[in-house]
């Protein structure tokens, strides 16, 4: 499936999808994932606990947040693809980040986990028929298609890669 139009998305997610340079979902998930792996592999272990401000997340917290968010979005996509009409709750990223045990983890293990999660995400979306990708569900009070969720995953990741490059490693 191709990139959704912005009017198909809740306002909050439009900035993420606008940042996506890929036009097709599966190549986008794979390409964006490779870009993220390249960035992660370039980070020295000693930089994992760096944060650019007192109330900001560490590098490891940003990376584990990316993994957590992808899991949440993929779960939503799975529920919607399976035609589940149950409205799903949101999640509070600022409550989750300190609970991810990021500072006690090695970067190489975070990279392995990310790689595993992304592979699972690609498999999930690749298993969907066109009809399934068009299905819409509600999470956190907003409706979105399965396809749109896939592009939000790519855009959310792109957003955080940009933050890491500009604010942590510039």
Does residue 124 register a pLDDT over 80?
yes
* CA gap 144, 77 in Å, rounded: 9
* CA gap 48, 67 in Å, rounded: 15
Element (H, E) at 50: none
pTM above 0.85, yes or no: yes
Q: What is the largest CA-CA distance in the chain?
A: 46
- 170: confidence class by pLDDT, cuts 50, 70, 90: confident
Where are the alpha helices (H) located in 19-58, listed in sequence order? 25-41
Tell me: the pLDDT tens digits for 83-107? 999 999 999 999 999 999 999 999 9
Tell me: the pLDDT tens digits for 50-81? 999 999 999 999 999 999 999 999 999 999 99
Q: Is the dihedral of CA 135, 137, 139, 145 positive or negative?
A: positive
CB 160 within 8 A of CB 21: no
Tell which residue, 140, 170, 164, 169, has the closest CA to residue 152.
140
R_g of the chain computed on alpha carbons: 16
Does residue 48 register a pLDDT over 90?
yes
Tell which residue, 127, 124, 126, 144, has the closest CA to residue 136.
144
* CA gap 137, 142 in Å, rounded: 8
pLDDT cut 90: percent of the chain above it: 98
Full set of structural domains in the chain with CATH:
6-168 (1.20.120.450)
């Amino acid at each position: 499936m191709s990139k959704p139009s912005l009017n198909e998305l809740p306002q909050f997610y439009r900035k993420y999808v606008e940042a996506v340079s890929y036009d097709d979902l599966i190549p986008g998930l794979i390409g964006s994932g490779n870009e993220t792996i390249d960035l992660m592999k370039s980070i020295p272990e000693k930089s994992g606990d760096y944060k650019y401000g007192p109330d900001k997340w560490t590098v490891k917290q940003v990376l584990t947040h990316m993994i957590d968010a992808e899991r949440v979005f993929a779960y939503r996509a799975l529920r919607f693809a399976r035609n589940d009409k149950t409205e799903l709750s949101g999640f509070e990223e600022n409550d989750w980040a300190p609970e991810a045990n990021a500072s006690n983890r090695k970067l190489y293990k975070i990279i392995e986990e990310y790689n595993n999660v992304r592979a699972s995400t690609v498999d999930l979306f690749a298993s969907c028929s066109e009809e399934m990708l068009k299905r819409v569900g509600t999470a956190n009070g907003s409706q979105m298609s399965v396809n749109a969720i896939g592009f939000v995953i790519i855009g959310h990741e792109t957003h955080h890669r940009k933050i890491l490059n500009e604010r942590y490693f510039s």
